[in-house]
Structure 1
Amino acid sequence: MQDGISTSNKKVQPDEKQVLSDEEIKTQAREVLYKNMVSGQKGGFDYHFTKPSPDTYPFQYFWDTCFHIFTLTALGEVDMAKKHVRSLFGMQRPDGFVGHMNYWKRLWPARVTDLLQLRPRDVLQLYRPHMSALVQPPIAAQAVLRIYQHGQDLSFVRELLPKLKRYYRWLAENRDFEGEGLLSIITPFESGMDWKASYDPLLRYEGGKAGPLLFWKVLQVDAHNFLKGYNLQAIYKSNRFIVKDAAFNTIYAQNLEAMAALCRVAGDEEEQRYLDQAKQTAESVFRYMYDEEDAAFYDLYGHQFRKLRVRTGTIFFPVALKSVPDEVCRRVLERHLLHPDGFHVPNPVPSLATDEPAFNPDGSLYIWRGPTWVVFNWFMQGYLLEKGYEEEANELLLSVKRLITQSGFREYYNPFTGEGNGAKDFTWSGLVVDMLNRQQEEDKKAGR
């Protein structure tokens, strides 16, 4: 077994005996979800969703909703999870598109960046429910599959499968510009990891730690897309910001496999088509993103698939793909996650390597440039358990339990001190409940 992930610097953290119990954490997670839950009717639509936080993020967000579904099902709230999915796809366009933000009760965008993320025609229709013009990591198929696994409701699968098919078809037809199975994002906000440091070289931002200049450079990208009317072919041709994000495409490949599983459950003949798509995407991730010398998977930019050589917390996401050779997975994990380097901190997993110039572990407008987010631990724990890294997976879970015990359900945490920053009562941190269930299932299998 490889050396465990560091849990040094315990003077500022509660030890294992002092962390909240599993039941206490589950109770608090449920309270946070229900505190942030919103439902009603508007413009002929029924909506039901959970805000990521009470004030900072007031809308229904795409991948946030999917995270809520993982937490809700882990808490046994299957019917509530179904309502969230139905609301998420409530305004789906006939061509299959679903925006990264659904504006239901509160119709006006909260920030100027949100306003620029609407199609120009939708700006004139802010008086009624509408969607943004952007996408987010496409984790919806896994969310629906999770609901089925917990409820065995075949009728629900058959209800959602046509919507999911249209959605993933839209992605393939409109964001796989080169036909390689890799999806492109057209603004940093589409990755779900706003201000991600790997995009700095493309934005021509050389300031290291983020500041107002970075804000304006990102704003210019959104303004460019807005002025193009979100015409995707025109945006691609201009090549202003065309990025194939490693995490985004890993999630895409996983969800194509989830689509195949849903088709199999429903007796749908398209199962093989999704398996073939998933294989193509996974092979392209390995072919184009993996850097052998650095043992890392990098984001790509431009028409020529150039690597963005910045070590963010997503450089090891593709190890979760089945087609990536085991030896490669071991090299990536041993280089970046299991042994001392830029990701070796008391509270893993930091969103950026500590030795990158842009690293900032503290609270900031410019997030995803250093702090620890529970979603990284959640994603990697599942892979580590599957591959037998039980000690390391347990350390990721214990780290999250420490963070929540010390600082509550926060948006992100300082990877050294465990201090919570960003939004309070933040629902993403509720993914710890799914982590707890995974660990319990693994313990049962091992007879512990």
Structure 2
Amino acid sequence: MTKHFDEAYRILAANDRGGYTVPTDRLYPFQWNWDSAFVAMGFATFDIDRAYRELERLTEGQWADGMIPHIVFHQPSDTYFPGPDVWRTSHTIPTSGITQPPVFGIALRAVHEAAEKAGTEDAKARTLALFQAGLKWHRWWYKARDPEGTGLVALLHPWESGSDNSPAWDIALARVPTTTDTAVVRKDTGHVDAAMRPRDEDYRRFIHLVDTYAACGWVPAEQWGKAPFKVAEIQTTGILLKAGEDLEHLANSLGLEAEALELANYNDLTRKALLAQWRPAFSRFVSRDLISGEDIEAPTQAGFIPLLSLDVDADIVDAAVAEMKLWSNGMKVGFPTTKPFVGSFEPKRYWRGPSWAIINWLLIDGLARNGMNDMAAALRSNTVGAIEAEGFAEYFDPITGEGCGGLGFSWTAAAYLCLAGQ
């Protein structure tokens, strides 16, 4: 046991708010959706009960239609904007009105398998309840965010991607007005250097979208019709497919034949759709702007995330890996979230270049799935080394290796526990 494991445990304990974990103190004072899924997998390495609890607390915020929101406001805080008063949702617990990548199903399988290995008595019952929540959420994705049955799910807000201000959104987001009825009172730049955060203009567009959907009463069909931002997104779809595979596996192990078949049908549809987004000219997958009908060609990490859930031909794997190596060349910390030295690359600004441990975690699993074990091992070693050198930062400057953004970050601690423990 090294001092780094002890520090990871300490961070998760410090960010515990009573069965759920905040990403970091003050900057993100609530429960975030995909953060908690990664955190649950971290907890599963040493505290299975607490891992289940993390997911159970997240599902307290699930909506009647199945959506699990991107933020659950379990208790008030004045250190974050936008808070519940801006979202204007109407649920038992205050929540945001949008969602986030569905890592939940991936986490549930990991927690369940850890519980089975440990012989945990109530594992089956707890897994079953969470499985039903996860299945309900997957049904929501396919109904609300793929109403035409394409197999690719769409985002109506950049925040739903988790990669909030990625260059992938620049063209689509530029069409969104900067006008807003809501006073934009940013809190993030009081906690973190503004040079590392989204720009004010981006924030006004983000809030314009919130105003638009709040005016729709957060009814999915109305939002779909009025959305000024609508992107069929490969990172989210790739994660949805992996989570769908894991939920299908759980359904089979729990003897839920009808549910397993339903998930298998979703997965087959999405697998074909995702494969069709491969672009040989770029050696990566691409998202599609559903308003313009055009491919999104911005070079970001999302282009490689589908490897997480696809078993692709050798020529695709070889091309993707060659491109990934090109991006990593000369970088102190992989994997950059924007191709280095293109015009949109900013190595310290949130999602426009920095390396993230959780993105690396997904890429490592995708590489290993497709037989690229050496590259997976190298990226794992590089990620663990960056954390040991710089601490549990939100993300890292890929050129210098500097830890940036929020510090004492929960999902970085979880990633370390899972990656360094392998």
Say whether residues 1:132 and 2:119 are aligned partners: no
Q: Once the 2 structures are TM-superposed, how far is the Cα of residue 129 of structure 1 from its aligned partner?
A: 2.9
Q: Once the 2 structures are TM-superposed, how far is the Cα of residue 158 of structure 1 from its aligned partner?
A: 2.1
Partner of 1:31: 10
After superposition, residues 292-371 of structure 1 pair within 5 angstroms as: 292-303=280-291, 305-334=293-322, 336-338=323-325, 340-341=326-327, 345-362=331-348, 364=349, 367-371=350-354
Partner of 1:436: 420
CA distance in 2, matches of 1:275, 1:112: 37
Say whether residues 1:66 and 2:37 are aligned partners: yes
Partner of 1:87: 57
Say whether residues 1:202 and 2:172 are aligned partners: yes
Q: Is the 8 A contact 1:343 1:352 kept in 2?
A: no
Gaps of 5+ in 1: 1-21, 40-47, 123-127, 439-448
CA distance in 1, matches of 2:213, 2:136: 24
CA gap of 1:343–1:156, structure 2 versus 1, over 3 A, is farther
Q: For residue 319 of structure 1, what is the amino acid of its counterpart?
A: L
Number of residue-to-residue matches in the alignment? 394
After superposition, residues 232-251 of structure 1 pair within 5 angstroms as: 232-251=220-239
Q: Once the 2 structures are TM-superposed, how far is the Cα of residue 332 of structure 1 from its aligned partner?
A: 1.3
CA distance in 2, matches of 1:220, 1:323: 39
Q: Is the 8 A contact 1:107 1:129 kept in 2?
A: no
Moved more, 319-328 or 238-247: 319-328
Gaps of 5+ in 2: 117-122, 176-195
CA distance in 2, matches of 1:69, 1:341: 30
CA gap of 1:35–1:341, structure 2 versus 1, over 3 A, is closer
Q: For residue 146 of structure 1, what is the amino acid of its counterpart?
A: A
Partner SS for 1:300? strand
Say whether residues 1:379 and 2:347 are aligned partners: no
CA distance in 1, matches of 2:247, 2:279: 29
CA distance in 2, matches of 1:88, 1:252: 17
Q: Is the 8 A contact 2:39 2:411 kept in 1?
A: yes
Q: Deviations over 1:162-212 (max 9, x none)?
A: 22222221222111122112211110111111111110011228xxx9643
CA distance in 1, matches of 2:35, 2:372: 28
CA gap of 1:28–1:273, structure 2 versus 1, over 3 A, is same
CA distance in 1, matches of 2:315, 2:84: 43
Q: Deviations over 1:26-56 (max 9, x none)?
A: 22111110111011xxxxxxxx201110121
Q: Once the 2 structures are TM-superposed, how far is the Cα of residue 220 of structure 1 from its aligned partner?
A: 2.2
CA distance in 2, matches of 1:96, 1:136: 13
TM-score (norm 1): 0.82
User: RMSD of the alignment, in Å?
Assistant: 2.3
CA gap of 1:214–1:179, structure 2 versus 1, over 3 A, is same
Q: Once the 2 structures are TM-superposed, how far is the Cα of residue 393 of structure 1 from its aligned partner?
A: 2.0
Query: Alignment identity in percent?
Result: 21
CA gap of 1:424–1:181, structure 2 versus 1, over 3 A, is same
Q: Once the 2 structures are TM-superposed, how far is the Cα of residue 225 of structure 1 from its aligned partner?
A: 2.1
Q: Deviations over 1:371-405 (max 9, x none)?
A: 11111211111233344433322221222222222
Q: For residue 71 of structure 1, what is the amino acid of its counterpart?
A: G
* Of 276, 284, 287, the match for 2:265: 276
Q: Is the 8 A contact 1:384 1:392 kept in 2?
A: yes
CA distance in 2, matches of 1:159, 1:239: 33
Q: Is the 8 A contact 1:117 1:134 kept in 2?
A: no
Q: Is the 8 A contact 1:38 1:49 kept in 2?
A: yes
TM-score (norm 2): 0.87
CA gap of 1:372–1:118, structure 2 versus 1, over 3 A, is farther
CA gap of 1:155–1:232, structure 2 versus 1, over 3 A, is closer
Q: For residue 97 of structure 2, what is the amino acid of its counterpart?
A: A
Q: Deviations over 1:98-140 (max 9, x none)?
A: 2111111226682137654443x56xxxxx7322111110111
CA gap of 1:88–1:154, structure 2 versus 1, over 3 A, is same
Q: Deviations over 1:320-359 (max 9, x none)?
A: 333432321221111x212x34765221001111122121
